[in-house]
Amino acid sequence: MAEFRDFDVYVLPWVAGAPRPAIDDALRQSAIRFCKETYAVNETIKLKAPAKPEVTVVSTDSNLVVHSVLEVYGPGGLLDPTTKSELQDMYPDGWQAETVDAADDLHWWLSLGESTIRLIPYLTTATIEKVLTIETSLRPSDAAETLPNILLTRWPEIIAAGALALLHSQESVPYAIAGRVAGMSAVFKSGISKAADEVEAGYNRPQLRTGLDEFP
């Protein structure tokens, strides 16, 4: 993992006198936004299948959190993602209580949020082995003390630009220069779009064209 100070060469020349905590927090928030938009940081997580429908996926790195489940595999291969409306069509009498006895018979999964999915049907007995393989996209946690190495090795200037946009948008602080916000925000926006295309296969996600509503 990369230390916040590893980004100093890309940040300090553009924001004189900013305190360390402010710089670190801006880098953290920039990295969070970057990861959420680009899906650039990923992890394959193996889990036991529980005897309940909900499965919460947690990164093995305490500085990272799962912000999206991308694919789920069971012993029989790839499980199909589904929606509540599709489930209602498949199970007109209700799908919530559908169960199976063997992990090989797991079939669908439903997203319940960033890091939680529901298996349909779900198992009556938990597995002893880790039979679920879950592909995830990660972001730094809100309290992360380090950032993923790939952000430093591949996109340090982009992470720095996002941080600088935040630092210079602050009010009533001597180091903020409002005239730099637009330029830094534009660099960050363009960098997110290009990085999304650079991520291998992009999980078939198109190039992003979103605005920076969190960055003035």
Q: From first to last of its 216 residues, what are the pLDDT tens digits of the chain? A: 999 999 999 999 999 999 999 999 999 999 999 999 999 999 999 999 999 999 999 999 999 999 999 999 999 999 999 999 999 999 999 999 999 999 999 999 999 999 999 999 999 999 999 999 999 999 999 999 999 999 999 999 999 999 999 999 999 999 999 999 999 999 999 999 999 988 864 544 443 333 334 444
Q: Are residues 15 and 62 in the same domain?
A: no
Give yes or no for a contact between 149 and 2, defined as CB atoms under 8 angstroms apart.
yes
Task: Say if residue 81 is in the same domain as residue 10.
Answer: no
User: 49 with 134, same domain?
Assistant: yes
56 and 132 housed in the same domain: yes
Q: Give residue 200's pLDDT.
A: 60
The answer to whether 84 and 110 are in contact (CB under 8 A) is yes
Residues near 84 by beta carbon (within 8 Å), at least 6 away in sequence: 110
d(CA 82, CA 112) in angstroms, rounded, equals 11
Q: Could you tell me the pTM of the whole model?
A: 0.89
Residue 58: domain span: 42-139
Q: Say if residues 81 and 111 touch (Cβ distance below 8 Å).
A: yes
The DSSP 8-state label assigned to residue 151 in this structure reads H
pLDDT of residue 109: 97
Tell me which of 121, 139, 157 is where a domain ends. 139
* Residue 138: predicted pLDDT: 97
For the chain, how many structural domains are there in total? 2
Query: Is residue 207 a part of any domain in this protein?
Result: no
Answer whether residue 214 is part of any domain.
Answer: no
- Considering the domain architecture, whether residues 114 and 31 belong to the same structural domain is answered as no
CA atoms of 133 and 113, how far apart (whole Å): 18
**Residue 182, Cβ density class (10 Å: 0-12 exposed, 13-18 middle, ≥19 buried):** middle
Instruction: Please tell me the predicted confidence (pLDDT) of residue 199.
Output: 86
Residue 22 to residue 167: CA distance in whole angstroms: 7
- Does the residue 212 lie in any domain? no
Co-location of 189 and 113 in the same domain:
no
